[in-house]
Amino acid sequence: MNLSLLDSNLGYQNLLADLKSGLINHAYLIVSLDENLRKTAFTKFITSYFCPSSCQTCTACKKIASNNHISVKVLDGKNKIRVSDINELAEDTHILPIEGDRKFYFIDNANLLDPRAQNKLLKTYEEPPKYVTIFLGVSNEAGLLSTIKSRGKHIFLEPLTSRAIYNELVELGYDEIVSQEAASYAMGSLEKAMLFVGDQNYKYVYEETFNTLISLKNSSQIIDHLYKDIFSKENILLSLEFLEIFLSDIMKIIAKSNIDLLTLNRDYDLNLLAKSFTLAGASMALNAINDARERLKFNVSSTSVAEKVMFDLLEARYKWQ
Ligand SMILES: [Zn+2]
């Protein structure tokens, strides 16, 4: 992703202000539904740290761009992170930096770490050696232990505008009409827009996931949805992502937040759905999405993951009224 896309992002400005004032926090929590945006924010920040002009030609810039900087370590909760990996990270923080005077760690998708790994991480995250900064990246905070949540400085990256996504796509050489449609379906994410321009299946999964969420009203209907294409092995991660975005929009409506909804042209249905959730219920539902991703990592079949997620969604709607 083009690093300059973050230049006008208020969340990123907030983070950069700490670097400019020389008061870098020991722990940050980057919140954004867009994985690419989170990774780009981290990369842009550490590039500015090691090379203030971010020239992209010096050794430090090159090492960061090729993920080879010795003072930077990145883990991803999408892969299985064990307690032993966290122990290793904790031990590594105690080794003094040998390049630059600071070490940076980034655990993205930290909401997918199991509670044991999070507990293990807690001590290092709240009190690392003074030359260490740890970033956690999450798409939603529902899967984090409250002890972890409260220790880091929150950085909320606002989604890209459709205009910014459109411009970027056109710059990348895509047709203007195709770019327009992709940008409007992309829900603030360049990554999704890129998926969409290359693949008509994306629009189908989007529409069908939304329709499933609205039409699912009791557990006897689960069987009608279970064998849909959106829950196939190939599509289930994408449909879970869409569900996460729809549910985040529902939370915004319940909380009367003035942040724009990301779901396109579905305000009426979303408002209707929001009436059937409490804030606690919507948070439970988001947790069900985290849980489903976790189970997929352990090779549980997509059908049984889909079945459980639909049960959990119904429970989150009706039990938490
Ligand atoms: Zn440089």
**Exposure class string for 199-216: b at 16+ Cβ within 10 A, else e:** eeebeebbebbbebbeeb
Q: What is the dihedral of CA 165, 167, 169, 172, to 10 degrees?
A: -140
Residue ranges of domains in the chain, CATH in brackets: 3-156 (3.40.50.300), 200-318 (1.20.272)
Looking at 131-135, 230-234, 315-319, which range is the least confident one? 315-319
Q: How many angstroms separate the alpha carbon of residue 95 from the centre of ligand 1? A: 25
Ligand 1: centre distance to CA 62 (Å): 7
Backbone phi, psi, residue 114, to 5°: -75, 160
CA–centroid distance, residue 139 to ligand 1 (Å): 30
Question: How far, in Å, is the centroid of ligand 1 from the Cα of 60?
Answer: 6
pLDDT of residue 41: 97
Q: Cα–Cα distance between 273 and 250 in angstroms, integer?
A: 7
Separation of 50 CA from ligand 1 center, angstroms?
7
| Residue 7 alpha carbon to ligand 1 centre in Å | 17
- Ligand 1 center–CA 100 separation, angstroms: 13
- pLDDT at 86 exceeding the cut of 90: yes
Section 162-171 average pLDDT: 90
Write the pLDDT tens digit of every residue in 117-127.
999 999 999 99
Kindly give the distance from the C-alpha atom of residue 96 to the centroid of ligand 1, in angstroms, as a whole number.
22
CA of 124 to the centre of ligand 1 (A): 29
pLDDT at 319 exceeding the cut of 90: no
Distance 43 CA to ligand 1 centre (A): 13
Q: How many angstroms does the Cα of residue 163 sit away from the middle of ligand 1? A: 29
Q: How far is the CA of 53 from the centre of ligand 1 (A)?
A: 6
Confidence of residue 321 (pLDDT cuts 50, 70, 90): low
Taking Cα atoms as reference points, which of 288, 274, 194 lies closest to residue 243?
Answer: 288
